[in-house]
Structure 1
């Protein structure tokens, strides 16, 4: 049973999946940094200094000035966090689209490139005919 588990755990697909998950975690941190540190300040500048992460609508209790205080006071709709996560999602989706598009392009190029070892049948026959004619001339 231990041998079977070892074969299962060390299969190429399983290792590839584990590597993908680890890289995905690092990629998620990178995207969060891009959104929070690069894009949101620019969007905030364009919109006149609006900080989306603290945008909310408070439904109950006294109006509060911070999101944390509003959440403690009662029902609060934190739409700013949703906007930030939506931008994260769109960036991730766009980058993955570009990666998949690039991989598909490379795959198409490899499929179009003829294999130098494989000679078409008609060329093989012509080569044989040439060789036979060359032998007869001798």
Structure 2
């Protein structure tokens, strides 16, 4: 990851981010960077904890940003699949240091942000008003 995050997110465009990573240092740094940029952030140390948050209060979360590789039996990909069962239109961004070619197939509605990433790249994705799947296809 490359820091710092440039710019400040306008209040009207702030999604609430559920940040999921088993590495406490990454969780702390990304959480601080997102909060400094004006995002509301909820953290989870693993997929099971994130799924519990989504199940108990799914409406509070606008986007899930999760590492793909996590111990404990639930990867970020598994989390995304379960999250879509709770909220089919949920926006999920997955990240990994592994090439997408080496990862299991990502769910259809997931975006992928390779590590190392610039916080400004994550910020641009979070600023989107709508999930890419919700956007109409360009006309010919």
Interval containing the TM-score (normalised by the shorter chain): under 0.3
Q: Normalising to structure 2: TM-score of the pair?
A: 0.20
Q: Normalising to structure 1: TM-score of the pair?
A: 0.20
The higher-RCO structure (CA 8 Å, 6+ apart) is 2
| Greater gyration radius | 1
Between Structure 1 and Structure 2, which shows a larger proportion of strand residues? 2
Between Structure 1 and Structure 2, which shows a larger proportion of helix residues? 1
